[in-house]
Amino acid sequence: MVQQKIVMKLTMKDDKKRSKALQTAVGLKGVVSATVEPDKIVVVGDVDSVTLTMVLRKKMGHVDLVSVTEEKEKKEDKKDEKKEEKTLETWLSHYPVMHPPYPIVIQEDPYREPSCIIL
């Protein structure tokens, strides 16, 4: 799946409720980050929005799913991947590939039974 940004509205009257909502959201598998605003919680990650809403409703009470949007990858991540490829290429260019001086040919006897039972 693709990372999603899920915004949910719920009533949080005190710090204890905010903490409980945040712990519940972060406790699910696939959550990358979660932030709590005065009346909303924003979760980013590879999570099913319906499952997250149901879990929060079970723990917190009334929860409304406001929006689900696809979170796009940052350009910095792509730049890092290109840098890693360049370092690998430069590493490989410093070490030459050694080939044997003669070709290796493996011939099997057609009259002999194969040593592998699976074949």
Q: Give domain status of residue 100, yes or no.
A: no
Q: Supply the pLDDT for residue 6.
A: 92
Q: What is the DSSP letter of 65?
A: E
CATH number at residue 51: 3.30.70.100
Q: Give domain status of residue 46, yes or no.
A: yes
Q: Which residue range forms the structural domain that includes residue 31?
A: 4-70
Q: Give domain status of residue 52, yes or no.
A: yes
Tokens 């099913």 -> residue = 48
Q: Give domain status of residue 44, yes or no.
A: yes
Q: What are the φ/ψ torsions at residue 67 (nearest 5 degrees)? A: -155, 155
Count of domains forming the chain: 1
Give pLDDT tens digits along the chain (119 positions): 688 999 999 888 888 888 898 999 999 898 999 999 888 999 999 999 899 999 999 988 888 999 999 877 665 555 655 555 555 555 555 566 666 666 666 666 667 766 666 65
The pTM score is 0.57
Q: Supply the pLDDT for residue 2.
A: 80
Q: Give domain status of residue 40, yes or no.
A: yes
Q: Supply the pLDDT for residue 34.
A: 92
Q: Give domain status of residue 13, yes or no.
A: yes
